[in-house]
């Protein structure tokens, strides 16, 4: 797979308005530039994002299916009475709906979007294995799991991939579960390497977001936390400029430089934005570079993000 994956959370309606034709052009441009790994989810607009991805890649999916890696996720119902739902009925409906929206006969990587404490991991793993046996799924992963959850899942069948949030303002996976993933040969596909836009260098303390954008309700994008972290970004911009690259390219390269991280998932709604992200895979950061980045971010405020239950 390409080390940069194209993510499609931004196409599900949680990030404000956008032009669908422009977004489809961005997906196709990513493919032209060599991206062969695309990540989506049932919950990204409940089919909207998957359908848009399928539409953008339709011709190649029909012509040369095995050259594309399509990943999706299921097992949550945001804004419902049970936001996390990995029971058989909902998982089965999710998988069948994803196949239909994407218009494919199999999903390369199917992931449980968030752990469901009311559904035993062993049972969830067994259900997914049935879909592997039926040829509708080829590989199984999880997202937002900790080490204990991975271990429970592994009792029934090995977890092949883990998709956690990871960026310079959110580093908790370095203690759990990244070490477990390294020790157990689990592929790690990190999402939000740009901190949901914080690390693009395009925000100021006066930046605001549409009401339909989840960031308008997040403490990470308001008040003192927002101001302090933007000051950190300004320092990182200077460091990146000294290396002749953008701060966004530096931030993505930093995630890829971490032991055990294999892929960075980056979203874009415009074709121009994906080019800078792809270039991050070619940036080599030295041990001294990484140490300096740690120094520059030492006073950053740790942040969290959205979950099935809402936004922190």
Point out the residues that are catalytic: 44
Q: Concatenated DSSP letters for 245-294?
A: S-HHHHHHHHHHTSTT--EEEEE-SSHHHHHHHHHGGG----HHHHHHHH
Angle subtended by helix axes 247-256 and 223-242, to nearest 10: 90
Secondary structure of the chain: what % helix, strand, coil (to 5)?
45, 15, 40
Contact 76, 307 (CB under 8 A): no
| Dihedral over Cα of 66, 8, 50, 129: its sign | positive
Q: What does the buried/exposed string (b/e) look like for 195-206 if buried means 16 or more CB atoms within 10 Å of the residue's CB? A: bbbbbbbebeee
Residue with tokens 């218009």: 103
Closest CA to 199 of 177, 170, 172: 170
Non-local CB neighbours of 129 within 8 Å, separated by 6+ positions: 140, 156, 157
Angle, helices 247-256/271-279, rounded to nearest 10 degrees:
50
At which residue do the structure tokens 């954008």 appear? 213
* C-alpha 243: how far from chain center: 27
Which residue's entry shows tokens 């991975």?
Answer: 150
């Amino acid at each position: 797979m390409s080390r940069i994956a194209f993510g499609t959370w931004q196409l599900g309606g949680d990030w404000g308005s956008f032009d669908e034709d422009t977004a489809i052009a961005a997906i196709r441009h990513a493919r032209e530039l060599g991206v062969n790994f695309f990540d989506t989810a049932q919950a990204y607009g409940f089919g909207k994002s998957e359908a848009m991805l399928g539409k953008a890649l339709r011709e190649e999916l029909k012509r040369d299916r095995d050259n594309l890696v399509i990943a999706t996720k299921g097992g949550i119902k945001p804004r419902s009475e049970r936001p996390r739902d990995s029971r058989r009925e909902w998982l089965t409906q999710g998988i069948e709906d994803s196949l239909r929206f994407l218009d494919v006969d199999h999903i390369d990587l199917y992931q449980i979007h968030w752990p469901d404490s009311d559904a035993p991991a062993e049972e969830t793993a067994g259900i997914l294995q049935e879909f592997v046996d039926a040829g509708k799924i080829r590989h199984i992963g999880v997202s937002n799991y900790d080490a204990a959850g991975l271990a429970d899942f592994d009792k029934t069948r090995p977890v092949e991939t883990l998709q956690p949030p990871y960026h310079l303002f959110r580093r908790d996976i370095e203690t759990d579960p990244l070490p477990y993933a390294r020790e157990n040969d689990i592929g790690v596909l990190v999402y939000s390497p740009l901190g949901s836009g914080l690390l693009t260098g395009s925000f100021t303390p006066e930046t605001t977001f549409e009401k339909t954008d989840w960031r308008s309700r997040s403490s990470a994008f308001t008040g003192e936390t927002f101001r302090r972290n933007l000051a950190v970004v300004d320092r990182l911009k200077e460091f990146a400029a000294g290396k002749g690259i953008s701060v966004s390219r530096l931030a993505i390269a930093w995630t890829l430089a971490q032991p055990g991280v294999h892929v960075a998932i980056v979203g874009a709604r415009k074709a121009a934005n994906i080019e800078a992200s792809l270039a991050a895979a070619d940036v080599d950061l030295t041990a001294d570079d990484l140490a300096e980045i740690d120094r520059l971010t030492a006073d950053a405020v740790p942040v969290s993000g959205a979950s099935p239950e809402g936004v922190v």
